[in-house]
Structure 1
Amino acid sequence: MDLKIKGKTALITGADSGIGLETAKFLARAGVNIILSDKDGGEELDEAKRIVEAESNDNNKIVTIAADLSKNEGVLKMAKQIDDDFGGVHIVFHSAGARGAADDFLNLTDDDWMKTIEIDLLGAVRVARAFIPQMQKNNWGRMIMVASENAFQPYENESPYNACKAAIVNLSKCLSRSYSKENMLFNCISPAFVKTPMTEAMMEEVAEEQNLSIEEAEAWFVKNKRPHIAMERRGKPEEVASTVAFLCSEHASYINGSNIRIDGGAVESAFG
């Protein structure tokens, strides 16, 4: 399918792996200029650039920018560089995030909460605040944020992450109400148990605790901790990225203020 966004410019945060990297590949194939951003530059981000360049069959530019989204000055510096080099963005896929502190609610301190909020909620706020003006200037925009099944079906030992992801759904809806008359669309996605560095780390913990291989740990985790996943497996990043690419396209021109679950049936309620 022709996404009809050739020549547009997209910023992807959390782009050195997982869903962010797979989305970059989809958009590169569509002829989009890609800015790959992650907290740390270096070898992983450079390798991501090489992977995305190999997918591109046009003269679109693929560049990298290291930016710490937990600091407003890092976001503003990145925004200025993109405005200077590309004339601003048309598309923002905010994929960066972290599981944050995970424990029994009564064991979590204010500091635990604030570290998670700084990354998972305020990072999204800073990115939106910095890049909505660029989309306004370009009179066209798509912003997609990553929420989670945790926003609708929270897990008891991940309360900061649960709360932040629920806030992302609300923030995306709020932005859609505020700016859609200016030819910009705002949506979010809610993946569940997708193969990313975050879930890889979780599986390594389970494997060590249960004395299992990673594959056995994944099967154990699905059976015992995520029994509502109807497909009984971990999702693939490209299964999420294909939906994100569609939301970035001209074909998604009437999808706005929505949350799309990409969860293998993980959320038990029909209306979550």
Structure 2
Amino acid sequence: MELSLSGKTALVTGADSGIGWHTARMLLEEGVRVAVSDLDADSLAESAGRLPGEVTTVAADLTSLDDVARLKSEVEAGLGGAPDIIVAAAGITGAQGMFHEIDDEGWTKTLETDLMSQVRTVKAFIDGMRPKGWGRIVLLTSEDAFQPYADEIPYCAAKAGSLALMKGLSKTYASEGILVNSVAPAFIATPMTDAMMSKRADQLGTDVDEAISSFLSEERPGMQLGRRGEPEEVASAIVFLCSERASFINGATLRVDSGSVQTI
């Protein structure tokens, strides 16, 4: 399928591993000029070196307004202007535990990283995108936005906020040619879920494979394929939404979740 992306420019945040890295890879393979960002400069440089092409790399803390301003400056310098495409994939699991156990700091850090980083990233670049008359913004949300889990309510709330942000942006800028959508994965094989499963294995006194298996059966019974998703399976959906083939899709959420969300 011809995606008609050659010559476009893109920023991918959260790009040093997992979904973000594979999204950057696939965009490069489609002829897109890409800038990538993540928190740790060394990790980002190593990851960027494994991508199939040259990229602009900007290490930035998206919870910092100063860092976001620097991100804007360096990305626009590297790409020759505001990106045509923004993929906001940066995020953390955040504060976990029962609601009464999570303090204000845990809530604030989770919301700052998972929701406000998307707000700040889009806000930094939207004015430069608008005169182009063409643009794509894809926000990473989660199945947790649709069916919250008791032990990670801050993450669920942040991802539900991403849905509302996406919908609001889609209504605001579609008339200017900027289409805004989101992708909602469930339990993907990324460093974030690797860490979750290592912790679970320690708690259960078992190995990681058994921790994954028990998590699927006990916590994610709706995932009919019975496995973790692969990051490239999510990245494929993101790149499609960035393309001309998605020219009539706006304000939508594409669930890449093996059926985990059990509502229509």
Instruction: Please tell me the TM-score bracket, short chain as reference.
Output: over 0.9
Letter in structure 2 aligned against 1:120 = D
Question: What is the CA distance between 1:84 and its match in structure 2?
Answer: 2.7
- 8 Å Cα contact 1:21/1:48 also seen in 2: yes
Match of 1:79 in 2: 72
For 1:157 and 1:227, locate their aligned partners in 2 and report how far apart those are by CA, in whole Å: 17
- 8 Å Cα contact 1:88/1:138 also seen in 2: no
Question: What is the CA distance between 1:115 and its match in structure 2?
Answer: 0.9
Cα deviation 1:91-142 (Å, max 9, x = unaligned): 0000000111001101111111111111011111101101111211332210
Letter in structure 2 aligned against 1:21 = W
Question: What is the CA distance between 1:215 and its match in structure 2?
Answer: 1.3
- The alignment-based identity, stated in percent, is 43
For 1:7 and 1:169, locate their aligned partners in 2 and report how far apart those are by CA, in whole Å: 29
For 2:119 and 2:33, locate their aligned partners in 1 and report how far apart those are by CA, in whole Å: 23
Listed as ranges, the matches of 1:194-233 within 5 Å are 194-233=188-227
Match of 1:69 in 2: 62
- Asked if 1:188 corresponds to 2:187, the answer is no
What is the Cα-based RMSD across aligned positions, in Å?
Answer: 1.0
- Where does structure 1 lack aligned partners over 5 or more consecutive residues? none
For 1:174 and 1:88, locate their aligned partners in 2 and report how far apart those are by CA, in whole Å: 21
Listed as ranges, the matches of 1:57-136 within 5 Å are 61-85=54-78, 86-136=80-130
Cα deviation 1:195-221 (Å, max 9, x = unaligned): 111101000001111122211111111
Question: What is the CA distance between 1:2 and its match in structure 2?
Answer: 2.2
Give the SS at the match of 2:91. Answer: coil
For 1:47 and 1:83, locate their aligned partners in 2 and report how far apart those are by CA, in whole Å: 22
For 1:139 and 1:75, locate their aligned partners in 2 and report how far apart those are by CA, in whole Å: 24
Using the size of structure 2 for normalisation, the TM-score is: 0.97
> Which residue of the other structure, out of 165, 173, 183, is the alignment partner of 1:171?
165
Match of 2:51 in 1: 52
- 8 Å Cα contact 2:216/2:226 also seen in 1: yes
- 8 Å Cα contact 1:194/1:237 also seen in 2: yes
- 8 Å Cα contact 1:188/1:260 also seen in 2: yes
- 8 Å Cα contact 1:2/1:30 also seen in 2: no
- 8 Å Cα contact 1:144/1:244 also seen in 2: yes
Question: What is the CA distance between 1:228 and its match in structure 2?
Answer: 1.5
Question: What is the CA distance between 1:76 and its match in structure 2?
Answer: 1.2
For 1:62 and 1:84, locate their aligned partners in 2 and report how far apart those are by CA, in whole Å: 12
Letter in structure 1 aligned against 2:88 = H
- 8 Å Cα contact 1:70/1:119 also seen in 2: yes
- 8 Å Cα contact 2:56/2:75 also seen in 1: no
Question: What is the CA distance between 1:47 and its match in structure 2?
Answer: 2.3
- 8 Å Cα contact 1:20/1:95 also seen in 2: yes
